[in-house]
Each structure stands twice: as C-alpha cells, then as structure tokens.
Structure 1
Amino acid sequence: MIHVPRNTCRSPAARALSVRAVVAAVAVGGGLLFAPPAGSPLGPVVANAAPGSFTDAAELADAVADGRNLERARKWAEAIRHYDAALERFAPDHEAPGAEPLPEPIRALQYGLRRSKIHHGIHRRYADPSYTEQLLSRSPESALDLYETVLGQIRRNYVEPIGATSLVAHGTESLYLALSDRKFLGRNLPAHGADDGSAEAAVERFRAVLRTEFWNAPIRAEDERRTVARAARLGRELCGLSETATIFEYLAGATNALDDYSAFLSPEGLASLYGNIEGNFVGIGIEIEAEPGRGQFLRKILPGSPAEEGGAKAGEYVSAIGGTDCRDLSTDEAAKLLRGPEFSAVELEITDARGVARTGRFVRRTVEVASVERAEMVEPGIGYIRMGGFQETTAREMADAVNQLRRQGMTKLIWDLRGNPGGLLDAAVDVLDLFVEEGTLVSTRGPAGGQTQTYRARRAGTLAARDLELVLLVDGDSASASEIVAGCLRDHRRGTIVGRTTYGKWSVQSIVDLGDAPRAGWAAAAAGSRGSGLKLTTARFYSPDGRNYAGIGLNPDVPAPEYADDAQEPEPTEAPEDLFAAADPAAGIAGDRTAGYRPGRVARAADGPRVPQTSLPLNEQPDVQAALKLLRRR
C-alpha cells in the first residue's frame, strides 16, 4: 500500500479531526448542479470570450480545448490539474463579491473540473477491491439502507444544511457520467461495446431518461429512497445495469454536494485512515505521484521502511511494478499493483535522475510511521525538529524530542511543518499545550452536538519548552492541524513563522464507521474486516483570535528566499471577513448554473521544485538557512 497522509480518528462518537484533502478526493465541492446543454456531453460551447478582466480570448479558448483533449484521452488526473491551473490563472477571484458574470469559457473550465473530478473518483472506487466486493455482496435493499444511513448522517452532522434535491441531483450527475465511463461500463456492463451496438443504445436510452426525468428534479427528504430505487430499477430494465451499482453511484455522488473534504469511504479506505491515525500500515513505505510518460514519481521515502532499506530515493521514478509497465498508469492504478499482504514481495524497476534503471525486490511489512521524522542540533544552541503529521503518538514524540535536544544545550528551536498535511485535532492541541502556557489554543464551531468547543492550554502540561525561542517553518502543503499550530503561535506571539503561505484548510472532519461488514476475501482481510465509512466536515476551526483562514492560508512573517517575490514585499494575511465568502452549498439547484470552482488552495498543484526542499541536506535548504539567520540574531 502507498502511504498517503489522510489522518482521521477512531471513536464510536466519531471524534473530531482535521485532515488534508487531495486532488484525488472522491468529493466534488458545491451544492448547485449544472444542466448539460442538449447534444453536448462536455458542457457549454466556448462562445465569445470576455477578454480584459479574465484574459486574452485565444489563450482561454486554448485552455478549454486542451482540457477537453485530456478528457477525451481519459487522463483525469491531468485534466484536474489542467483545469485547476487554468481557473487559478484566468479567474482566481470570480466568486468575490461584485464579480462580473462569468463568460462561457470560464464556465466551460468549471464544468471540465467537475467532470474530471467525478470520473477520477469513479476510477479510484473501481480500482479498490473492497468497493467492488461490496457491489457483488449487497442486495439492492441493503444498498438502499446504506444510502439512507449516509444521507441521515449528512443531514444531522454536516457543517451546513444540504437539501434533499441537491443530494439526489448530485447522485444523478455521478451516475450520468459513470454511464459514459469505460471503467464503470467495463465492470458493470461487459457487453457494452462488444456487440452490434444494442448495448450502447440501451445505455443512451437510460441516460436520456436521467436527463428528462431525474435531472434537478425537486425532491423531498421522504422521497429520496423511492427516487433512487426507481432509478435503479429503470437502469436494470433499460440496459441491464445492476441495481446495487446504480445505488452506490447515488451514494458516492451525494458527497459531491458537500465540500472537497467529505467523502464516502470504502472498507479499505476506512482501514487506511485508521492505520494512519495509529501510525502504521502494511506496504513498502513510499509516497508516489503519477507523471505520464515517466512513471510514478517518488515524492517521499519513509524512514526505516523497506523502500529506504532497498535504496529507493525521493526524486526517482518507478517505471514498472511486478513486471507491469506503470509509466502511463494513474496513481491509483499503480497503487493497486503495489498492494499486497504482509511479507509478500514486489519487484520494482526504478529510474534515477540520470535515467539509469535498476530493479529491486521489496518485501511488504508493517511500517511504523513516526510523527517526528528528524530531531537534531544544527549548531550550538539551535535545535531542529521535523514533524510529518499529527497522530495519536505525536505529543509524546514531540516532548521526547524537545527534552532530548534540551539536554544537548538547545535554547532555540526550528520546528519544521513544511509538507505536513495535518491529522488529529486532539494531537495538535496536545502538542501546542507543550509550548503555550495559558489561553485559548483553538476553537471549533459546528451545528451538531459536541462540535462547538474551545480548547485551552493547561499550565500543568506545559514543558520548559515555553521559554524556547521558536521559528516555525511552513509551506503551501502545511495544512489543517499544521495551520492550527501556526495560527495559535502567531496569535500568542509565541514564535516567528518562516516560509510561504499555508494551504488554507480550516475545517474539521469526523469519521463515521457505518458498521457494515465487508464480504470475506483478501480485500476484507486488508481492511481489517471493517465496513465502510463516511468522512464528513462537521465544524470549522478558528485561531485564538477567532479567525478562520479557509481558502486563504496564513502568510509567513518572513518569506523564505526561494518563495519571496523580488518585486513586492509580502503582505500580511488579511482577515477572512475582509475577503470573499465561499458560495453557500445549500443554495439549491438551478438548471443552468454550476457550483463550479472555488478559488483558493482546495485543489491547487503544489508550487516549487519537484523534489521537496525537505529531501535536501539542511545546509542546502533556503528555508532552514533563513530560520537560522533569524535565530542567530537573537
């Protein structure tokens, strides 16, 4: 298995936690659903672009065309990155108060991003054996029961109210697109494309019914189950589609009406989240990212893992897995090849930066993931601690590391949270309690019981670390719990923040174990015989001064040299109330409108070098050198 930091929290009461969202998330943000123009499966036609405030019309039209080409090639991850970058470039502030009406090309980019995310989600689900086993083992009635359970959880606990029409309509959209997706059709309708064309015609008849009878149809909560059951029955009658497959598409699609951090979790996905909380998983200890034509880019090698012991290095590429060429595979397809039971072996072909290939054999085993990845003295009096995530053991690891360095004479500390995607809310609170003696650390606000809380420092828990001079390193991938730390230290004036603007993920997720047992088999064993789950945004968190920087992020006090703009001095982070507010996902359904793209850092590609600074020696990292320069002056 690939270690992707997606931290969550196990508890019968679904304890609150904060997690990082990734581009590959199943969820698609928004509560409005667009209606596809007649005869155009790809959304609106590019008409007259509006140059000036958005950009040159020809370049914008090219961006739309390039995105559609990626969609036609079914390169969904690339399409997501392309559309996201295009919207960031051409319309970064289009949802700001008073924004002018969007021209057709911008809407085309929005639609393209939605479609690509939904297709990518379909491919992720169907690459997951624990998900496909559910399709085989569940009856339609059982699937409808699960659907009702999920919608009930959303209605009771989601951070904002969501109407029944929106939840069902997003399921219709997901099913409509799935019926044009080769992965979905190949699994559920194997005769599609293999006969005289009658199967394709039957599928198109069903899609036409979805457009005319289900698309944006007003729904009351008491009609949800009956409506989805009718769609499932029509799918079986018109084209032979499994009723359970239809219902599961409505189930997964319902979370598309929510934010990008909420998602339905397969048994394997739920087990993976629990493993990350506990700091262990079975695999070889690599983080990968697909790069078409070159293979799987090794973003990170976990310390003490089989991959590290076998000589794999960050910045290299995996070109084959178990004899299968993976140069053009998606991350999820490669992940499927990497999965396997403990003590089984996998052979990788790895290409280094010089293009020299080698083959290595790696044995999968339980990999223990430490929160504190590195702790050392960098020069007399100055210590360095790098933290990779926030999990159950984080506060204890941090206390041990600080005490160890204090014994070596540390009086000043560089605390490195670059690339730290976050993790458990409780872990962030416990770590901050080591450094802040009194006052509020963070607060949360949500509609459900227990989601509105204020977390305060406990004097008894504070280490002697409170007298340490602190410099906190952050970057665009410092998210969630990392931002809780940054916001708290800033508001308490407890340290100096160095680096670049953080990710801007300021919401709290809770994990609900839906309690349904997976079918017996390898996938069930890999999932620890757990059922599926739901990751749901249930609250927002706020810094001690009461600010929430969702979609904005915190700017550093001191920009690191690599990220500084030579032409401008960095501006301090503006208060969220002075900036745009995100669209209300409960606004309803409108025939020709779209929830579209939300500006900010929700799904943007990371800036900077391909190989993170953190993989370089400390004396070669500009961020660390900037922090040292600050501390030497004090």
Structure 2
Amino acid sequence: MKPPPEDAYAQMEMLTRAMEMVRQNYVDDSKITYAELVEGALEGMLHKLDPHCEYMGKSLFEDMQREQSDTSEGIGITIALRQNILTIITVREDGPAAAAGVLSGDQLVRINEVLTDSVGIAEAMQLLKGKAGDEVSLTVRRPGTKQFLEFKVKHETLAETSVHDPMLLSPKMAGDYKIGYARISQYNQPTPRELSKALDELEKQGMKAFVLDLRNNPGGLVDSAVAVCGEFLPEGTVVVTTEGRVASQNPPPFRTPSRNGKEPRKYPIAVLINQGSASASEL
C-alpha cells in the first residue's frame, strides 16, 4: 500500500509557526532574521538526506567560484568526507598548509574553535576561508600515527594551477619508449587549457604514450573534466549522463566540446587513480 499523500500546507504551517516562535522568544535577535532562519532550515533539510547533500548559500557559492578561477586566497588544501569524517584530500606542495606540515589524509578535528564532528563540507569551507594574511588554526588527527597535531596556517593568494609536473619519463622507467606524464590535482576553469598546452609540448618532444595521474584528485568542475576527456575523444562524444526519478526532467548529457577541427590525440593512455580520486575525476 502506498503511504497517504503528505499535506504540504500543514507541514509548511508547522515550519512557519516554529519560525515565528523562535523570532519572538530567542534571546539574541541578531540571529533570528528570516534570512538566517530560512538558511538554517535549508541546511538542516539537506543535511538530513545523506552526507553528500548540502545547502550552499550565495556567499559560499561565490567563494567556490573564486577558487575555481585563476587565483584564489586560501591555505592550499582540498577536503572531503571520508567515512563521515572531514578529511584533507590534497595539500598543494607550494601552499601554506604544506609549509606548516599538514599532510594528505589528515582528519580535521577542529577549525579554529569549532569541532568538526557535526560540520559538513560547505560549513567547513566557510570556516576555512579568509583573506591573504589571515590565520586559521587547525587540529588534525593523523591516522598513520594516531597523533593529534595543531597547526597555525596563514592564507595566501594562490595561483590555481591544476596541471603539475608534465614531463617525459626517464629511460630507466620507460625504456626505449617516450612516455609522457602529467598530474591533475583538481578540475578548475584553466585545467583543460593547461593540459592541452602541456600535451602539445610533450608531443613536440616525441611523446608516444601518456600517463595521466588523477590520484588524490577530489574532482571539481564537471565541464572541465569533460573538456579534458575531449583531448582524447572525438568532439560531441557523450561522457556522462544524469538520471533522476523523472526521465523528462533529466538534464542533457555532457559531451566533449568542439576542438575547432583539431583531431583528438591518438596514443596509448594510462590513468592512475586511488581512494582519493572522487567526483569529476572518476569520469
């Protein structure tokens, strides 16, 4: 038997009554604007669904867009939930967190004075943000040693380079074959352009095969990941589709973009992944 249909109006009335009771009785009136309460309700609603659903407000969304552009202000880490624990997935080698001693795999226990046991990704990003020169205190648990460590890290302006270490592998590793290598740390706006440039340079050096390293890549912009696939697939190739409960509401598939007549690259490719490869890097 199907459950009886829900009375949406009754549920909304209960939510509205609760909101008005809070506004009338809560001691700190700076926290009970309609905007604050509605945002809190949205955060709670999505948090209740599963660990991957979170509400992203306007300011946090704008921060994320800045991080996906050519430069951003931050401490040089990416985070994700691993077994419901906030975990540092990547640490930029040239970033302030790496200089302080933070490692990939460290589990975030505290950000400044906020314990992270009930903090989601969106809220953690909000806690970690700051302007160049601002300091953030991190307490982490290092699983390998079971140590609890504290770091003070200053925000810096970081160039968002996501394609690292393009090179031909040494003859000791590749033998007589000229095998290229590059690592993508995260998919942001410049990634396809950077990878295309790196591949062009490696091909000029005689590259005949390529290793793409996506280990510890937490994902990023799906459009950029699809464009990277477009370096090796014919334009218009379907890379990924999204299927929801109602087929008529499914968005169009993601296809590789036009290459303006440039042929896709045709040589053997190996892709490296590990447990830290997630989201868009799984494409």
| TM-score interval (norm. to shorter) | 0.5 to 0.7
Aligned equivalents of 1:320, 1:253: Cα separation in 2: 21
Aligned equivalents of 1:336, 1:399: Cα separation in 2: 33
Q: CA deviation at 1:303?
A: 3.1
Aligned equivalents of 2:276, 2:81: Cα separation in 1: 18
| Partner deviation per Cα, 1:575-625 (whole Å, 9 max, x = no partner) | xxxxxxxxxxxxxxxxxxxxxxxxxxxxxxxxxxxxxxxxxxxxxxxxxxx
Given the superposition, is the C-alpha separation of residues 350 and 482 from structure 1 closer, same or farther in structure 2, using an over 3 Å criterion? closer
Aligned equivalents of 1:254, 1:321: Cα separation in 2: 24
Report the structure, 1 or 2, having the larger strand content: 2
Aligned equivalents of 1:348, 1:240: Cα separation in 2: 31
Match of 2:15 in 1: 228
Give yes or no for contact 1:316–1:351 (8 Å, CA) kept in 2: no
Give yes or no for contact 2:235–2:255 (8 Å, CA) kept in 1: no
Q: Which amino acid aligns with 1:475?
A: N
Q: Which amino acid aligns with 1:413?
A: F
Matched, 1:401 2:187: no
Matched, 1:479 2:282: no
Within a 5 Å distance, the mapping from 1:205-604 to structure 2 comes to 218-220=6-8, 225-235=12-22, 242=32, 244=34, 247-255=38-46, 261-287=52-78, 299-308=89-98, 310=99, 312=101, 314=103, 329-330=115-116, 339-345=129-135, 362-380=153-171, 381-437=178-234, 440-445=237-242, 451-453=251-253, 455=255, 458=258, 460=260, 462=262, 466-484=265-283
Q: Which amino acid aligns with 2:42?
A: L
Report the structure, 1 or 2, having the larger helix content: 1
How does the TM-score come out when normalised to structure 1? 0.34
Given the superposition, is the C-alpha separation of residues 416 and 270 from structure 1 closer, same or farther in structure 2, using an over 3 Å criterion? same
Q: CA deviation at 1:270?
A: 1.6
Give yes or no for contact 1:228–1:247 (8 Å, CA) kept in 2: no
Q: Which amino acid aligns with 1:314?
A: L
Unaligned runs of 5+ in 1: 1-32, 34-162, 166-217, 485-634
Aligned equivalents of 1:260, 1:297: Cα separation in 2: 13
Q: Which has the higher contact order (CA 8 A, sep 6+)?
A: 1
Unaligned runs of 5+ in 2: 172-177
Which stretch shows the higher mean deviation, 417-426 or 224-233? 224-233
Q: Which amino acid aligns with 1:375?
A: P
Q: CA deviation at 1:478?
A: 2.8
SS at match of 2:55: strand
Give yes or no for contact 2:88–2:105 (8 Å, CA) kept in 1: yes
Given the superposition, is the C-alpha separation of residues 458 and 345 from structure 1 closer, same or farther in structure 2, using an over 3 Å criterion? closer
Q: What's the Cα RMSD here? A: 4.7
Aligned equivalents of 2:149, 2:14: Cα separation in 1: 55
Q: Which amino acid aligns with 2:269?
A: L
Larger radius of gyration: 1
Aligned equivalents of 2:68, 2:58: Cα separation in 1: 16
Q: CA deviation at 1:321?
A: 8.9
Given the superposition, is the C-alpha separation of residues 480 and 462 from structure 1 closer, same or farther in structure 2, using an over 3 Å criterion? farther
Aligned equivalents of 2:257, 2:95: Cα separation in 1: 36
Give yes or no for contact 1:290–1:330 (8 Å, CA) kept in 2: no
Q: CA deviation at 1:399?
A: 0.4
How does the TM-score come out when normalised to structure 2? 0.67
